[in-house]
Structure 1
């Protein structure tokens, strides 16, 4: 069975690559269940070129639509043909725990509605929606409840869950809410999605393992080494693995003269014995993730390893554009894990599963008495 996929807010192709790599063969019939790209959209030109080159084989692939989602002709089958599944990782800027948390009142908050519009227009067999953990408590919890309500009203059974990707073999502590929706009629026929059980709950893949095994060849794609001032390199030399710019061993003349909050990720080195902290795509000096041993920031290829992109996946654009693309992506292995669970669901193949987080289930949220109560319950998940 082949599922044609549409994708909004596609990023460089982490979700799409995971879907492309996911496949299931029914053990008795031999039928193959897999997913094929149909169309996608993103508002960033470099991102679309990266997606086209790696997912479709061409930087100028016409099925990869560059431009604001507001201008995308959702529902026009001549431009965006019918699909069997939809993925949309709507922008997280207004829901992020490290941002201003404007939620629905921000520039990006309402963009989830285009995912709802696409679900209504195409009625796919299933969809997967992704966003950051901070979505849970945005607008005192009202944002998350509103999104779930609207998706359910489209005619879908929802299974939201907070996935901690380090528990699934990804070498990074990246926590994301993913919502799987199965169309009501299919659910009634027995297609019941279950949250796949963690595969590495106690045996994490470390950042060091991800970066050095196998070694990254010096001529690898997107592996240009960063340049730093002597002062920055001298400061890094006093920061131990896992430490940051506020470590007490840094001599006074090398310390940062910053007032206010001391963010833990500033000039923070990786801990080689643990998964990396979250790879991000924005931020100025000191936020580029730093090697546990060498006095430098990571290369883009090293960051891509932490996001589980293969070394043959080529990112297009400037170094800073590529850094942004990598930081905004869904880890490839995480997406593959989730799509394979959905495919097994359709194939009727059993797999290890766990109960979804009760705090993000729609019925439980509706039973809360106040918005404040919702927000407190959701915020307590992380």
Structure 2
């Protein structure tokens, strides 16, 4: 069988969850080969993580971490540490496929939810610029579930319109879908909108892969964190120093409970109560061992670090990486807080792998069980915004 070789580029790459998922998918689909040509992220530690785990295993020491796109190698992989506003998109190499998880801060349901009016909301436009300039055969774009409702639906409609038609003479067939990644082998309840686009001249139709393919995978938090057991020497497995006050508070919480659970509050001494008007459900929340974890996040103050179901402590970054389905040999670069951010902002590897496997099978002409998208594209595009 003649292989199709896809040269892939990424914007807002993060530490490599999307890239590793795509790599694993390509390795599993006959007739598909994948080559990472370039990637971009603004955070230096994140770029170091991507280089170490994605580029070096493929290209060895020929991979590059550079600060200007003009320095990217013509053959081999490179990752650009540069603010996307300063990135020379024209100077990046040609690609056949494109992935981007444009920053989700302004579309998240946690926070002010500024959408297109925020600092990060308009950053999707750089992905549109790549499509317009490089004209890849396919793309995969990822964002939070709150994207669909931002700015009364205006943001989602505008983004879909621009992705569908990056220029007047370039058209992509879109398949947006709200994925719950625990349905696809990820031990975490993480809901994300993923938009797959196929260039109009390609005789290929992408379909949403059926969760039935993954129904036999154990996605419980307990299995994720204990099978196999994590050695204390595992990378990024530093335990936080818990104060006695935090451990005392956790001691009153059962699996699945948080700091505001009525049963726990009734038993907990008043001095351990958290006095706040905002009661976020994940505050000091313990995992439920027999269920997928709640969503891993990359930032937050006291009580936001995720907590073991029975031990009176927060999870380590390595444990969170397991909940994000990163393999244990995937080493994150940077200090503990930097790694926390990288892990929380990443696309779960197994979730990305499921989507890319379906995409690559579509291009290889291999059938697979599928379901209808739960987002009606025509309905969103026909939405009348006042």
Fold-level match, TM-score > 0.5? yes
Return closer, same or farther for 1:340/1:200 CA change in 2, 3 Å cut-off: closer
Q: Which residue of 2 aligns with 1:70?
A: 85
CA contact (8 A) 1:244 1:264 kept: yes
Q: Which residue of 1 aligns with 2:44?
A: 45
CA contact (8 A) 1:245 1:255 kept: no
Q: Which residue of 1 aligns with 2:198?
A: 182
For 2:384 and 2:18, how far apart are their aligned partners in 1?
36
Q: Give the 3-state SS of the residue equivalent to 1:41 in structure 2.
A: strand
Deviations 1:70-93 (A, max 9, x none): 1111022xxx21001000100000
Q: 1:22 aligns with which of 18, 25, 43?
A: 25
Q: Which residue of 1 aligns with 2:69?
A: none
Comparing 51-60 with 156-165, which one deviates more in the overlay?
Answer: 51-60
Equivalenced residue count is: 359
For 1:152 and 1:231, how far apart are their aligned partners in 2?
53
- Measured after TM superposition, the shift of residue 202 of structure 1 is 8.3
Q: 1:304 aligns with which of 310, 316, 321?
A: 321
- Confirm or deny that 1:142 pairs with 2:142: no
Return closer, same or farther for 1:60/1:320 CA change in 2, 3 Å cut-off: farther
Q: Which residue of 2 aligns with 1:160?
A: 176
Q: Which residue of 2 aligns with 1:209?
A: 223
For 1:48 and 1:369, how far apart are their aligned partners in 2?
41
Return closer, same or farther for 1:206/1:43 CA change in 2, 3 Å cut-off: same
- Confirm or deny that 1:197 pairs with 2:210: yes
Matches within 5 A, 1:248-287: 248-249=263-264, 250-287=267-304
For 2:47 and 2:114, how far apart are their aligned partners in 1?
27
Matches within 5 A, 1:67-106: 67-76=82-91, 80-106=92-118
TM-score w.r.t. length of structure 2: 0.90
For 1:296 and 1:229, how far apart are their aligned partners in 2?
9
Q: Which residue of 2 aligns with 1:133?
A: 145
Q: Which residue of 2 aligns with 1:234?
A: 248
Q: 2:189 aligns with which of 147, 170, 173?
A: 173
* Two-structure CA RMSD over aligned residues (Å): 1.6
Return closer, same or farther for 1:211/1:121 CA change in 2, 3 Å cut-off: same
- Confirm or deny that 1:354 pairs with 2:357: no
Gaps spanning 5+ residues in structure 2: where? 67-77
CA contact (8 A) 1:204 1:274 kept: no
Q: Which residue of 1 aligns with 2:32?
A: 33
Deviations 1:358-380 (A, max 9, x none): xx333112334456xxxxxxxxx
For 2:364 and 2:27, how far apart are their aligned partners in 1?
8
Q: Give the 3-state SS of the residue equivalent to 1:64 in structure 2.
A: strand
Return closer, same or farther for 1:195/1:106 CA change in 2, 3 Å cut-off: same
TM-score w.r.t. length of structure 1: 0.91
For 1:24 and 1:14, how far apart are their aligned partners in 2?
16
Q: Which residue of 1 aligns with 2:53?
A: 54
CA contact (8 A) 1:34 1:343 kept: no
For 2:175 and 2:126, how far apart are their aligned partners in 1?
20
Q: Give the 3-state SS of the residue equivalent to 1:185 in structure 2.
A: coil
CA contact (8 A) 2:12 2:100 kept: yes
- Measured after TM superposition, the shift of residue 201 of structure 1 is 5.1
For 1:197 and 1:309, how far apart are their aligned partners in 2?
22
